[in-house]
Amino acid sequence: MIDEEGKLNRIDYGDKVYFDAGLGIAGTVSPIGTANMPSDTIADLITICTARNLRTISVHGALTLGAIMEHYNFCGYEHEDIADILDLNGQDVDGSHISHLIVTGAQGGTGLLTLFNGVAYAVTLFSGRMDSTSFFASTCSFRDTGYVDLVNCESIYGAVIINVQAPTRASIKDWRGNLTLTTQDGGLCYVRGFKGSLEIDEMTAGTLSIYANGADITINADCIGAGVINIYGNARVTDNHGAGTTVNDYTKETQLDTIFQEQPDTPVNINAILASETDVFDLNVADTRYIVRSLRLKCADPGADTVTVRLRELVNDVSTVVATFDIIAANFATYFSLMDMFGVPYLAGDDLQVTVQASAAGPYGVTGQYSHAVTT
C-alpha cells in the first residue's frame, strides 16, 4: 500500500525540516517545521523528523543540540555572523553531515562526523572528516583513539590551536595559514602539503610526520619525552625541542643551510613618500642567490592615506611586482611579517626587492628588521 500521508508530508516539508532561531515557533503539528513556518525548538525538530522519517534540517540562527542525533544532515546559509552557530553540545552525531554552518562545541559518542564548507570554532573531541573548512581563532581538539581527516582547511582569523591528544590516526592535508599543534601525547598525526607557519608545542609522545610545502616550522622547548617528529619537504625549521624528543629533519632548507651564509640582521628605518618607492631591501648582486627568512615592518599612522608595500621577484628574468600589501590607519600598529603581507614564510631568489610608497606626500616613517642568507 502506498503511504499517501507520508508522501504528502514529504511534499509539504520538501524532504527537510526547517529551523529558525529568530522566526520559528514551538510545536510539532504540521505545518510547523516547513519553510514557511519553521521550528525554533530542537526537541520539536527531532519529533517532527521522526514522525515524517526525515533526516535533513535546514538551520538558520543559533541551534544547540539537546539529544543524540545520528545520521542527520544539517545545512546552513553560510552566514558570517558568529551568533549563527550550531553547538554540538556533547551530543553523539555519528554519521551526521554538517555543511555551510559555523560549528562549535564538543562532539559526543565514539562515531564519525563530517563537516563540509563551513567554519569550525572551538570544536573539541572531534573525530571524522572536515573538508574545505575554515578555522576561526580558537582552540580545537581531536578525540583520543579517534580517526581524523582535515582536507583543504585553513585558518581565517587569529591563532588556531589544535590539541592533538592521542588519535589512532589523524591527517591534516593541504592546510593554509598558521597553526599550532599542541599536547600530542600518543597516536599518529600526519601533516601533508602544509603551507604557512606551524608551531609544535607540548608534545610528549606519539609520532608527528610533516610533509611541508613552503612552511616555517617551530618546535618548542616543552616538546619533551618520547615523541618523534619527522619533517620532510620544503620548510624552514627552528628546533628548540627538549630532552627525550626525537626530531628527524629531512627538509630542503636544512640542506640549503650547509651552503648559504647567514648575514647580520639589518634594521629598517626609512620613509614612505609619494614621489617614488623607497627600498626596504634590493638584493640583486650578480651570481648571488638570496634567502630572506624573516621580515618585520611597522609604519607610522598614515591617517587617510595608504602606504603600499610591494614585493618584486624575477619573472621571465624581469624584476616584476608579484604581491602588494596596504598599510592603513586600521592596521598600522602591527609589526607585519612576510606571511602577513605576502602569504609566504620566506623569500628565495636571485633578485628580491621590497619597497614602500605612500599614496600622498607623507613622509611616513617605516621601521623594522630583516635577516637573510647568501650563496654564490
Q: What does the pLDDT look like over 106-128, one tens digit per residue?
A: 999 999 999 999 999 999 999 99
Distances 279 to 12, 284, 338, 357 between C-alpha atoms, Å: 66, 12, 16, 9
Question: % helix / strand / coil in the chain, to the nearest 5?
Answer: 10, 55, 40
Nine-digit cell string for 135: 578555522
Establish if 185 belongs to a structural domain. yes
Tell whether 245 and 319 lie within a shared domain. Answer: no
Does residue 83 have a pLDDT over 70?
no
Structural domain tally of the chain?
2
Tell whether 79 and 198 lie within a shared domain. Answer: yes
Any idea which residue has 621577484 for its cell? 313
Average pLDDT rounded to a whole number, residues 37-63: 93
Establish if 342 belongs to a structural domain. yes
Tell whether 293 and 215 lie within a shared domain. Answer: no
Concatenated DSSP letters of 140-163: EEBPTT-EEEEES-EEEEEEEEEE
Tell whether 229 and 272 lie within a shared domain. Answer: no
Q: pLDDT by residue (tens digit) across 263-298?
A: 899 999 999 999 899 999 999 998 888 999 889 999
Establish if 51 belongs to a structural domain. no
Where among 256, 277, 299 does a domain terminate? 256
Does residue 2 have a pLDDT over 70?
no
- Mean pLDDT (the chain) is 91
Nine-digit cell string for 98: 554538517
Contact present, 370 and 268 (Cβ < 8 Å): yes
* CA–CA gap between residue 260 and residue 258 (Å, rounded): 6
For residue 182, the SS3 value is strand
Average pLDDT rounded to a whole number, residues 337-359: 94
Tell whether 359 and 240 lie within a shared domain. Answer: no
Establish if 8 belongs to a structural domain. no
Q: pLDDT by residue (tens digit) across 229-254?
A: 999 988 889 999 999 999 999 886 55
**Residue 274: domain span:** 261-375
Does residue 94 have a pLDDT over 50?
yes
Establish if 47 belongs to a structural domain. no
Tell whether 322 and 298 lie within a shared domain. Answer: yes
Give the H or E element holding residue 5: helix 4-13
Beta strands 17-20 and 63-64: pairing type? Answer: unpaired
pTM for the full model?
Answer: 0.66
**What DSSP designation does 221 have?**
T
Tell whether 315 and 370 lie within a shared domain. Answer: yes
CA angle 231, 258, 263 (to 5 degrees): 110
Establish if 27 belongs to a structural domain. no
Contact present, 114 and 129 (Cβ < 8 Å): yes
Establish if 29 belongs to a structural domain. no
Establish if 22 belongs to a structural domain. no
Residues paired with 363 in a beta bridge: none
Tell whether 201 and 267 lie within a shared domain. Answer: no
Distances 268 to 128, 275, 288, 341 between C-alpha atoms, Å: 47, 20, 22, 16
Tell whether 187 and 87 lie within a shared domain. Answer: yes
* CA–CA gap between residue 329 and residue 331 (Å, rounded): 6
Q: Pick the closest to residue 148 from 102, 107, 118 (CA basis).
A: 107
Any idea which residue has 626530531 for its cell? 247
Where among 210, 232, 256 does a domain terminate? 256
Tell whether 100 and 166 lie within a shared domain. Answer: yes
Tell whether 172 and 251 lie within a shared domain. Answer: yes
Buried b (16+ CB within 10 A) or exposed e, 2-29: eeeeeeebeeebeebbbbbbeebeebbe
Tell whether 133 and 233 lie within a shared domain. Answer: yes
Where among 195, 226, 256 does a domain terminate? 256
